[in-house]
């Protein structure tokens, strides 16, 4: 059984906190050890330390389960790896297709990383802290789940086979139509380029996990940090994330604010998310190669990569009421996000030519062909949420109304 907050306060007043290094399982960590100044609280101390240890294990287990929850993102990187074929139609059309296909990826992740900053309007006391794990799901509007290739202003590519409506990144898992370039000379049709539009990941939402820590500062202010170092894992490519946020109670600056039945605060947060994946685009079919670029497997086509970076910022005014166990909060705010897409490496591109009197294709290359950015869909936002507080542990859930509406659920350890 967890001990009450009243007992916890008495224990912390009567005991000295020290740090020791303990070895456990296959590693070690620093844990807090409480030395008794008053022996009558010894059993309470032992019980509290047992619960802290159990909560740490629970937190680690939840983090592992969340990783299982986001494993579908592995399929997302598989989709990025298929985008190299879009370059066969030339640089201008490729930029249009990249932007249309990846729009829900940028908007969904931008919305997701702008969420989960708060679980109440109040701030911690000085040196109060929290460590929390969030999972946000941003729902992709139906209009952003597919697009019509005949309505996006392609310059060279034509619809060769299939329905002109093709899925975006967050669309269906069915492949799209075949696009390409064909020319007819003396009654003979020559296909200069051709590829099938990639399928979507089959999810109508974009999940975003987040680990966040915060600490209380003087003047009713919290600072919050997010950090995932640059890491590589199997088909994910590289992934990194960092962010910083501030929350400040403003009752102290308002006339009679200290007597208000609710807490009013402002908060702002900035987050950067980056991801990369290798591409695989090599020459195929019949072609001439007068410049000696080489066929499949040639060094020319190595080091192909797509990099995506999403920068997101949000500012909100929050109003909330905290009770001993339950806290309610809500707010209005705005947010922005920008996603940049950069494609590096050499990619095959074909131009029509005549060789020995026959119409054929000549192999050329596009180098570092894509460097675009686009803004996320969300601007104004409204949120409402609920937090349940137990000794040292909290749960919260909130809903954000926006173009890409979101549900966020969080679990963490909190003191003060």
pLDDT in tens, 145-154: 999 999 999 9
* In contact, 73 and 129? CB cutoff 8 Å: no
Domain boundary among 69, 85, 116: 69
Evaluate whether residue 292 is within a structural domain: yes
Q: CB 35: neighbour CB atoms within 10 A?
A: 9
Q: Is there a single domain that holds both residue 3 and residue 135?
A: no
Domain boundary among 69, 86, 113: 69
CA angle 71, 81, 234 (to 5 degrees): 45
* In contact, 121 and 264? CB cutoff 8 Å: yes
Evaluate whether residue 326 is within a structural domain: yes
Instruction: Please write down the long-range contacts of 57-61, taking CB distance under 8 Å and 24 or more positions apart.
Output: 59/131, 59/133, 59/411, 59/412, 59/413
Whether the per-residue pLDDT at 411 is higher than 70: the answer is yes
Q: Is there a single domain that holds both residue 122 and residue 213?
A: yes
Q: CB 350: neighbour CB atoms within 10 A?
A: 24
Enter the tokens of residue 134.
């969030």
Q: Is there a single domain that holds both residue 6 and residue 124?
A: no
Q: Is there a single domain that holds both residue 17 and residue 125?
A: no
Q: Is there a single domain that holds both residue 320 and residue 388?
A: yes
Whether the per-residue pLDDT at 409 is higher than 90: the answer is yes
Q: Is there a single domain that holds both residue 254 and residue 125?
A: yes
Q: Is there a single domain that holds both residue 332 and residue 388?
A: yes
Q: Is there a single domain that holds both residue 54 and residue 109?
A: no
Q: Is there a single domain that holds both residue 294 and residue 252?
A: yes
* In contact, 170 and 205? CB cutoff 8 Å: yes
pLDDT value of residue 182: 84
**Mean pLDDT confidence for 60-85:** 47
Strands 326-344 and 370-375: antiparallel
pLDDT value of residue 186: 64
**Mean pLDDT confidence for 226-251:** 82
Whether the per-residue pLDDT at 25 is higher than 50: the answer is no
Q: Is there a single domain that holds both residue 123 and residue 56?
A: no
Evaluate whether residue 398 is within a structural domain: yes
Evaluate whether residue 192 is within a structural domain: no
pLDDT top residue among 20 and 309: 309
Number of domains making up the chain: 2
Separation CA 79–CA 276 (nearest Å):
12
Separation CA 310–CA 333 (nearest Å):
20
Evaluate whether residue 93 is within a structural domain: no
Separation CA 274–CA 415 (nearest Å):
31
Q: Which phi and psi (to 5°) does residue 35 adopt?
A: -95, 130
Q: Is there a single domain that holds both residue 130 and residue 57?
A: no
Whether the per-residue pLDDT at 71 is higher than 50: the answer is no
Half-sphere exposure of 204 (CA within 13 A, CB side): 6
Structural domain for 274, as ranges: 102-139+204-415
pLDDT band at 236 (very low <50, low <70, confident <90, very high): low
Report yes or no on whether pTM surpasses 0.85: no
- Tens of pLDDT, residue by residue over 189-220, are 778 888 889 888 888 998 888 889 999 999 99
Whether the per-residue pLDDT at 36 is higher than 60: the answer is no
Evaluate whether residue 151 is within a structural domain: no
When mean pLDDT is compared across 59-68, 123-132, 270-279, 295-304, the lowest value belongs to 59-68
pLDDT value of residue 111: 94
Q: CB 324: neighbour CB atoms within 10 A?
A: 7
Q: CB 37: neighbour CB atoms within 10 A?
A: 10
**Mean pLDDT confidence for 11-29:** 33
Evaluate whether residue 8 is within a structural domain: yes
Evaluate whether residue 170 is within a structural domain: no
Q: Is there a single domain that holds both residue 265 and residue 367?
A: yes
* In contact, 337 and 375? CB cutoff 8 Å: yes
pLDDT band at 354 (very low <50, low <70, confident <90, very high): confident
Domain boundary among 69, 93, 120: 69
CA angle 377, 381, 382 (to 5 degrees): 155
């Amino acid at each position: 059984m967890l001990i009450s907050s009243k007992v916890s306060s008495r224990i912390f007043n009567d005991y000295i906190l020290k740090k020791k290094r303990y070895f456990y399982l296959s590693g070690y960590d620093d844990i807090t050890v409480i030395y008794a100044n008053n022996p009558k609280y010894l059993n309470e101390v032992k019980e509290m330390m047992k619960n802290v240890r159990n909560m740490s294990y629970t937190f680690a287990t939840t983090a592992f389960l969340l990783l299982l929850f986001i494993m579908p993102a592995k399929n997302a990187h598989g989709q990025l790896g298929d985008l190299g074929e879009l370059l066969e139609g030339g640089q201008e059309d490729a930029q249009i297709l990249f932007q249309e296909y990846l729009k829900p990826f940028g908007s969904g992740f931008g919305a997701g990383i702008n969420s989960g900053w708060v679980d109440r309007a109040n701030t911690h006391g000085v040196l109060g802290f929290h460590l929390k794990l969030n999972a946000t799901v941003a729902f992709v509007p139906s209009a952003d789940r597919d697009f019509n290739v005949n309505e996006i202003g392609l310059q060279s590519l034509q619809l060769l086979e299939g329905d002109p409506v093709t899925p975006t990144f967050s669309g269906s898992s069915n492949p799209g139509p075949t696009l390409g370039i064909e020319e007819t000379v003396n009654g003979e049709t020559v296909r200069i380029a051709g590829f099938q539009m990639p399928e979507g990941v089959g999810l109508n939402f974009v999940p975003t996990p987040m680990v966040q820590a915060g600490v209380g500062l003087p003047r009713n202010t919290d600072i919050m940090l997010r950090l995932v170092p640059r890491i590589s894992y199997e088909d994910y490519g590289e992934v990194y994330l960092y962010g910083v946020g501030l929350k400040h109670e403003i009752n102290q600056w308002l006339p009679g604010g200290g007597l208000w039945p609710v807490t009013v605060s402002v908060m702002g947060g900035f987050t950067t998310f980056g991801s990369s994946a290798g591409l695989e685009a090599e020459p195929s079919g019949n072609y001439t190669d007068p410049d000696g670029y080489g066929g499949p497997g040639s060094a020319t086509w190595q080091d192909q990569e797509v990099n995506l970076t999403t920068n997101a910022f949000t500012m909100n005014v929050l109003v909330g009421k905290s009770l001993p166990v339950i806290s309610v909060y809500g707010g209005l705010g705005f947010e922005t996000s920008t996603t940049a897409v950069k494609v590096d490496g050499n990619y095959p591109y074909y131009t029509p030519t005549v060789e020995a009197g026959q119409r054929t294709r000549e192999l050329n290359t596009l180098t570092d062909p894509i460097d675009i950015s686009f803004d996320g869909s969300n601007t104004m936002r409204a949120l409402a949420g609920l937090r349940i507080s137990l000794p040292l542990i909290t749960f919260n859930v909130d809903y954000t109304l926006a173009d890409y509406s979101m549900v966020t659920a969080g679990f963490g350890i909190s003191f003060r």
